[in-house]
Amino acid sequence: MAQYLINYLERKSKINKEIYGNFTEHLGRCIYDGIWVGKDSVIPNINGVRKDIIDAFKEIKVPVLRWPGGCFADQYHWKDGIGSIEQRKRIVNKTWGNAVEDNSFGTHEFMDMCEEIGCDAYIAGNLATGSIQEMLDWIEYITGDGDSEMANLRRKNGREEPWKLTWFGIGNEVWGCGGEMMPDYYVNQYRQAYHFLSQKGFMTSSSLKFIASGPGSDDYEWTDKVTDGLTTQTYCMSQIKSDPLMDGLSFHHYVFGGDGYFNLRRAREFDEKEWYDIIRKAAETEELITRHDTVMTRHDPEKKVGLMIDEWGAWYGSEEGTNPAFLFQQNTMCDAILAAVYLNIFNKHSDRIKLATIAQAVNVLQSVVLTEGEKMILTPTYYVFELFKKHQDAVLLGSYMENREIGVDEVKVNNLFESSSIDADGNVAATICNTSIDSSEQIETTLFGAEIESIKARILAQDAHACNTFEEPENVVIKDFDVICSGNRIDFEIPAGSIVELSIKVK
Ligand code: AHR
């Protein structure tokens, strides 16, 4: 039995809806043979983008999509992907398996797709093999509404009105695939780019937000130097602390199945110990977040700069018979638990985490959607985003779960993870996950400070190895769940390896 307290009176930070974002990279079958089928395809599409994917994204209210990479962004030249599709340049995707791309999915296709979904666009600029001018032109092409060269080129290519661009990344993993830079060098590069990109002369929207390339995993020195360098204005040799030169610092964190990146197991190949191992690794992200936050707070005590976890999730060996460079993996209940652990942690740290995009949306790492020809399936991870969607733009509540450590041998993790929030109408959502592979847990919930009018609950529960396949697409789906409610108490037994969502209407 575990006691669970939700304090209706303790309001914390806003949970930005952008925490529930997704990442679309030109990698394997994410874009081509995934999202993008082309306008002439027999597969139902809207301007070449699969309609079933657009509908699925709308259903979970995907708030933001990051594109075109990842490492692909570090070699992408956006002008290759505009103009008549037939005449676009063919390129070799050198980062991901030398796949030949015809550039049929470019800026127009991405921006139109975001508009159709109703989500923000987040473009990762190429600071590595591109130039400041190229990034400047790209922003002008997308957002310019004056009589300028790039805005006119966009009009010539069929789009009269500017699109709304919300987020722009200046470099991706610049310490690695984005140029192997040192932090001081990157700070200078960023500042120089930002100086020009942030000038609003040709733009319709003054709300473009900039994201700097942040640390990978536990590189606190990177966070320290970059946050310091980008929260200090330099003017005529004097340095002053002022408004930060970035809205967010990106942070990438993957958990690797097996013995790490060079010895990966496949998604469905795990025993009890490996189940706990990967969930423990996800849970340990909380310490990394806390420490990066502490370092950032030294330079940004008012938390004006968000920590943007714009690549996260499980990374396994590619499925048998697929191109290893395409990183295609299946998705089991273990991944659903992992996603629930991550998202509950993100909610709890929403005072600093302002955006997160899981890698990658379709057919790659911890994808929410998988496709095969005309078929499309939703993964267990997709359903976690469905269960958590009420948290979007809600306010985090103080909540406390009685916990114990479980696991195998030295591999230990807490058995329960949760977070709760209050929406604009005063109603409460709570998401609880049981990480145990074999034991259910009785939970006695108390809502403190409010009276319950009604409650609805839903659950994602299945065997540990269960996944959805093209033959059995609805093996793992959300179901209604019975709870007992009396007064301000809610009792239920959460099954092993499952996730429960409580939606509480308050009097
Ligand atoms: O998600 C795959 C790759 O992982 C991304 O392209 C890169 O940014 C990261 O290293």
How do residues 383-440 score in pLDDT, each as one tens digit?
999 999 999 999 999 999 999 999 999 999 999 999 999 999 999 999 999 999 999 9
Does 259 score more than 70 pLDDT? yes
Locate the ligand 1 atom nearest the alpha carbon of residue 176 and give its number.
Answer: 10
3 state SS of 317? strand
- Token pair for residue 122? 């987040």
Backbone angles phi, psi at 188, to 5 degrees: -65, -40
Mean pLDDT (the chain, rounded)? 96
Does 128 score more than 60 pLDDT? yes
Catalytic residue chosen out of the listed positions 109, 173, 418, 441: 173
Identify the bridge partners of residue 216 per DSSP, sorted by sequence position. Answer: 252
How do residues 26-71 score in pLDDT, each as one tens digit?
999 999 999 999 999 999 999 999 999 999 999 999 999 999 999 9
> Mean pLDDT, to the nearest integer, of 250-259?
95
CA dihedral sign of residues 264, 268, 272, 276: positive
* Catalytic residue flag (residue 287): no
Angle between helices 183-197 and 220-229 (to 10 degrees): 40
Protein residue closest via CA to atom 9 of ligand 1: 70
How do residues 60-101 score in pLDDT, each as one tens digit?
999 999 999 999 999 999 999 999 999 999 999 999 999 999
Measure the CA–CA gap between 169 and 65, rounded to whole angstroms: 12
Q: How far is CA 28 from the centre of its chain?
A: 18
Contact between 489 and 4 (Cβ < 8 Å) = no
pLDDT score, position 260: 84
Locate the ligand 1 atom nearest the alpha carbon of residue 96 and give its number.
Answer: 6
Give the closest residue to 81 by CA, choosing from 102, 111, 98, 50: 102
- Token pair for residue 299? 């330079």
Locate the ligand 1 atom nearest the alpha carbon of residue 25 and give its number.
Answer: 6
How do residues 321-355 score in pLDDT, each as one tens digit?
999 999 999 999 999 999 999 999 999 999 999 99
Backbone angles phi, psi at 149, to 5 degrees: -60, -50
pLDDT score, position 207: 77
Does 237 score more than 60 pLDDT? no
pLDDT score, position 157: 98
Q: Which amino acids bring their CB within 6 angstroms of ligand 1? A: 25, 69-71, 172-173, 177, 252, 311, 359, 365
Protein residue closest via CA to atom 7 of ligand 1: 70
Protein residue closest via CA to atom 8 of ligand 1: 70
Does 238 score more than 60 pLDDT? no
Give the closest residue to 56 by CA, choosing from 292, 377, 455: 377
How far apart, in Å, are the Cα atoms of 446 and each of 127, 296, 429, 501, 507? 51, 35, 13, 15, 15
Backbone angles phi, psi at 33, to 5 degrees: 65, 20
Please give the DSSP secondary-structure letter assigned to residue 17.
G
Backbone angles phi, psi at 87, to 5 degrees: -100, 5
Q: Higher model confidence: residue 5 or residue 241?
A: 5
Among 122, 211, 250, 311, name the best residue to mutate to test ligand 1's pocket (greatest count of ligand atoms within 8 A of Cβ).
311
* Catalytic residue flag (residue 173): yes
The proportion of the chain whose per-residue pLDDT surpasses 70, expressed as a percent, equals: 97
Spatial CB neighbours of 259, under 8 Å, sequence gap ≥ 6: none
Does 258 score more than 60 pLDDT? yes
Helices (H), 129-267: 132-143, 149-156, 183-197, 220-229
Does 309 score more than 90 pLDDT? yes
pLDDT score, position 239: 61
Q: Which residue has the tokens 């409010």?
A: 450
pLDDT score, position 30: 98
Measure the CA–CA gap between 17 and 358, rounded to whole angstroms: 13
pLDDT score, position 261: 86
pLDDT score, position 202: 59
How far apart, in Å, are the Cα atoms of 303 and each of 13, 350, 356? 11, 11, 17
Backbone angles phi, psi at 95, to 5 degrees: -70, -40
pLDDT score, position 205: 52
Domains of the chain: 15-394 (3.20.20.80), 398-506 (2.60.40.1180)
pLDDT band at 11 (very low <50, low <70, confident <90, very high): very high
Contact between 150 and 201 (Cβ < 8 Å) = no
Q: Which residue has the tokens 């120089």?
A: 192
pTM of this structure = 0.97
294-328 per-residue burial string, b: 16 or more CB within 10 A, e: under 16: ebbeebbeeeebbbbbbbbbbbbbbbeeeeeebbb
Give the closest residue to 33 by CA, choosing from 362, 278, 380: 362
pLDDT score, position 199: 80
Q: Higher model confidence: residue 306 or residue 195?
A: 306
> Mean pLDDT, to the nearest integer, of 445-452?
97
Locate the ligand 1 atom nearest the alpha carbon of residue 71 and give its number.
Answer: 6
Cα–ligand 1 centroid distance for 390 (angstroms): 29
How do residues 346-391 score in pLDDT, each as one tens digit?
999 999 999 999 999 999 999 999 999 999 999 999 999 999 999 9
